[in-house]
């Protein structure tokens, strides 16, 4: 995960600088403490997945703005097959398609171990998720209720509300998770590379 931590450190500092924010202002915007932001930027601390989502929500950016290089697809695009990422105590995932400002989306392959539950805080206003189960069976938490989805099933839902995923079976489960983001001012700056 060393490569991912390096990208997070570099990308966080670039996003904060591009936004013209001090560490204190970024802390107020994201809900991540000034001390933690400084430690992440200096490579002294590894953020959790929950912390990365706080950063993404606070800056109104996609998750891959912090863990991947920015790409724009023109014609055929085949992403590199990275090693799966697993933050301590978190769901496993790897990026299938990093955020692309042309489409306003990013796609992950998520893995849930047997008996594993992952509850997510609401994402930024207007974010929509697509979930498509590719292996096993998962349950998705929406409106306080868990609903079962099996291999080949899919669902689209507003992700700006509490939601979660769990695997109550004895076998690993996997699903594609596509995040669709609304356009924001900072989103436009990232898209333009400014």
Using one digit for the tens of pLDDT, what is the confidence trace for 156-187?
999 999 999 999 999 999 999 999 998 764 45
Residue 7 has pLDDT above 60, yes or no: yes
Residue 139 has pLDDT above 60, yes or no: yes
pTM of the predicted model, to two decimals?
0.74
Does a structural domain hold residue 72? no
Task: Assess whether 94 and 151 both reside in one domain.
Answer: yes
Task: Assess whether 99 and 147 both reside in one domain.
Answer: yes
pLDDT of residue 194: 45
Other beta carbons less than 10 A from residue 12's beta carbon: 22
pLDDT of residue 79: 60
Domain ranges, residue 138? 85-180
Q: What average pLDDT score do residues 135-147 get? A: 97
Helical (H) or strand (E) element with 2: helix 2-18
pLDDT of residue 23: 93
Query: Could you give the dihedral angle defined by the CA atoms of residues 116, 121, 122 and 127, in that order, rounded to the nearest 10 degrees?
Result: -50
Residue 90 has pLDDT above 80, yes or no: no
pLDDT of residue 48: 84
Q: What average pLDDT score do residues 145-165 get? A: 97
| Domain CATH number, residue 157 | 2.60.120.10
Task: Assess whether 122 and 163 both reside in one domain.
Answer: yes
* Number of domains the chain contains: 2
Other beta carbons less than 10 A from residue 22's beta carbon: 11
Residue 67 has pLDDT above 90, yes or no: no
């Amino acid at each position: 995960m060393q490569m991912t931590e390096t990208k997070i450190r570099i990308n966080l500092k670039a996003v904060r600088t591009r936004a013209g924010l001090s560490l204190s202002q970024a802390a107020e915007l994201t809900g991540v403490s000034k001390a933690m932001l400084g430690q992440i930027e200096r490579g002294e601390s590894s953020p959790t997945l929950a912390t990365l989502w706080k950063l993404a929500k606070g800056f109104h950016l996609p998750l891959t703005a912090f863990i991947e290089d920015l790409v724009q697809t023109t014609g055929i695009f085949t992403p590199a097959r990275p090693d799966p990422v697993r933050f301590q105590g978190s769901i496993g995932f790897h990026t299938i398609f990093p955020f692309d400002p042309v489409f306003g989306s990013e796609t992950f392959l998520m893995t849930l171990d047997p008996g594993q539950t992952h509850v997510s805080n609401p994402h930024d206003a207007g974010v929509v998720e697509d979930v498509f189960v590719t292996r096993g069976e998962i349950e998705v938490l929406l409106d306080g209720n868990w609903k079962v989805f099996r291999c080949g099933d899919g669902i689209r839902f507003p992700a700006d509300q509490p939601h979660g995923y769990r695997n109550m079976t004895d076998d690993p489960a996997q699903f594609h998770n596509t995040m669709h983001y609304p356009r924001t001012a900072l989103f436009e700056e990232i898209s333009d590379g400014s």
